[in-house]
Structure 1
Amino acid sequence: MTVLVFGGNGQVGRELLRALAPLGPVIATTRSGTLADGRACEVADFDSPEGLPTLLDRLQPSIVVNAAAYTAVDKAEQEPEAAFRANAQAPGVIAQWCAAHDVPMVHYSTDYVFDGQGTAPYAEDHATAPLGVYGSSKRDGEEAVRAAGGRHLIFRTAWVYASHGSNFLRTMLRVGAERDELRVVADQIGTPTPAALIADVTAQALQHPGQLSGTWHLTASGQTSWHGFAEAIFAEAVAAGVLAKAPNVQAISSAEYPTSAKRPAWSVLDNRKLQRDFGITLPAWREGLRHVIAEIANA
């Protein structure tokens, strides 16, 4: 059983190459044709979706996992065409090939499909209402995967981070080592979710005996603000010896940190359906953070 992973150099993609290995041979693709460790891999350019069926015809995978995406949220406001090509058109092309060949497809989406005006965790069937280009492109990608009519597993996730790549945790550790005081937004609420958790749950879901198809929310459990996440990062980093001391973290409002794209104020996703359907327990976000900090400390 050959598994094809689009986006092998992303945070989730890198973890998928590890987590999916027990299922069979894993083929990775990147835009450059090179993985983070320097190994060569297949080339897949989501800026040219029309070329993807040729790649799929040649590789004939048994499972397709799409972890590739245009994730530059602010830049997407200036490059909507590129965002929609990568996040909507490309997944749609892949999903059509998968449906025609009876190949299951995993696709990742985001909390940005919601408007952030909620006060309770969003269920999978809550109405989508994205605030900007990135969220709109990801919503259209979901719809394209569903419309293709094949077996699909769409996992919405949020606040993804890892010990590698570009993410909030790594930024905090870098800046926290340089400064005595930081200002971090405290009025956006969500659930920090390790890329490794997403990859491990994906592997478990693909081995589930039932032929499930649908949309699930895949995040760690619980909630915090970016400010709360930052404080937890520093506390765990000091305890693990990654940082000598924690900086003072000052809470600020979103209005005090303007960005090109509007962020959802409330990004908490209800993950009970995933836990019930796949028999998986999703850990508290702080537990996931502890594991990632330990990975950094041991590196």
Structure 2
Amino acid sequence: MKKICYLVMAAVLFACNPDKHSRFGNEDETGDKKNAATKKTANTKTASTAPIISERVAAGTVIRSGPNGDVIATLTDYIPVYCANLKNGWFPVLVNIDITAAEYTKPLFRKGHKIKVNGISAGVLEKDIRLPVATNGEKMWATLNGYTEKKNIRSGTIVETALVNFLHQHKGHSEEDLTPFIHNFQLEEDKLAIKPYTLYFNYESGIDDPSPMYRIALVCQGKQLIGVVHSRPLELPASSSRRLQRGFTIHFLNGIDKTLQEDFSTKFNKFIVSVD
């Protein structure tokens, strides 16, 4: 299994473009209903806008040291963060903030420090804090870990919620039909792990596990979606669920042949128990 560490997560976050026009348009693109007459236009728009990739916060989001804990920082609208699984109404979150060479050497940040993410003003620190720092040779960043309430995360940027909405509003399930969603969340493609199936997937946040596995994977066969593998709670209408190894679940779309379901499940279980 491919490993995702904080270095990779930071590189992805730095690649995000938080321009307001593209980001709000793209969030709408994931969830808004499109008819046949506007499908071509919608696909063109999606291809030209910045992807969501990870969760985005609402304006004035407060990051705390724990559920109902001390306030660490306040973030501005649509800043990218990584969220672990929701726990009792709170998301564990991680955000990588820009730092200077001097701050990299001495990473003690004072209350009132102005935060930037990807060069964009992102909020302010609300207390003195020492943060872990890292670099990839091109950029330097500090990692801010904390908790925020569920209401502070834009639901349209949560991949599970966005997928359910997308499949409800877009009746076609071909790989071509799925392209806007795949682009919006920058899902990776794998045609080799579980032949003859193609997976379009992302990984867990890495907050709870520095070597995370799949968070969500669209399973296609013959260029058609047949099911969705997931590690977090997901309710997908017009489907049947089946438990898999290592805590995964798959929802097969209604009408998928039982033999095909059994074949994929067997191959997935064999694959997933063999990886680190």
The normalised TM-score by structure 2 is 0.29
Higher helix proportion: 1
The normalised TM-score by structure 1 is 0.27
Higher strand proportion: 2
